[in-house]
Amino acid sequence: MGIRIKADDALIIVDVQRDFCPGGSLPVPDGDRIIPVLNRYIEIFRRAGAVIYATRDWHPPNHISFKEYGGRWPVHCVQGSRGAEFHPDLKIPEETIVISKATDPDREAYSGFEGTDLEESLKSRGVKRVFIGGLATDYCVKSTVLDAIKCGFRTVLLEDAVKGVDVNPGDSERAIKEMLSAGAERASLSDFMDP
């Protein structure tokens, strides 16, 4: 394919936080395996002068998604906690724009666009195409991809840089099909030309 990254492209890294990786409170199986791949993407986008975003769950301690407040998940990614930190192996550049989501205790927010200024931030920088990887394929990645499409961005799923929870077997596969049928494109590292 020979994808060349330009200044009006953006990389969006979704929720690569300690709690979503092995050893965390809500681990994606092998979630940390995508980190070396994401680090390669970060290098490609940096060298091309493209903007990089990193979303993070940034829950208040009484968030509606937690089991004790009626949600389906164990407590995870509480604001300021160790579990909410980005994984230490992820080489996030200083200039990365961090988007905190799911900060309202009474609202679920899987997408990096939901309740944040991500759309405005991308559009103000003239971004036309977004490349999305991270955790988890079947929840926050899927929601972010679908919202990016709704917002009018040409959207590329980085297939080698996502991992799913698969609460139900096959959830990740179904999520990828849903993203592609909504209009997402797919790519892997081998598709990229170094700038």
Compute the distance between CA of residue 32 and CA of residue 134 in angstroms, rounded to an integer.
Answer: 10
User: Is 106 marked active-site?
Assistant: no
The sheet that has 154-163: what strands, in order across it?
A: 97-101, 51-57, 9-14, 129-135, 154-163, 185-187
Structure tokens at 39: 């680090």
Bridge pairing between strands 185-187 and 154-163 = parallel
User: Is 140 marked active-site?
Assistant: yes
User: Is 101 marked active-site?
Assistant: yes
Compute the distance between CA of residue 157 and CA of residue 123 in angstroms, rounded to an integer.
Answer: 19
Which position has the token pair 């971004």?
Answer: 127
Active-site residue (options: 32, 57, 101, 163): 101
Compute the distance between CA of residue 16 and CA of residue 98 in angstroms, rounded to an integer.
Answer: 12
Active-site residue (options: 15, 19, 32, 138): 15
The CA-based angle 138-29-185, given to 5 degrees, is 35
Structure tokens at 168: 């139900």
Burial tier of 94 (Cβ tally within 10 Å: 0-12, 13-18, 19+): exposed
Active-site residue (options: 140, 142, 147, 163): 140
Q: Which residues are catalytic?
A: 15, 101, 140
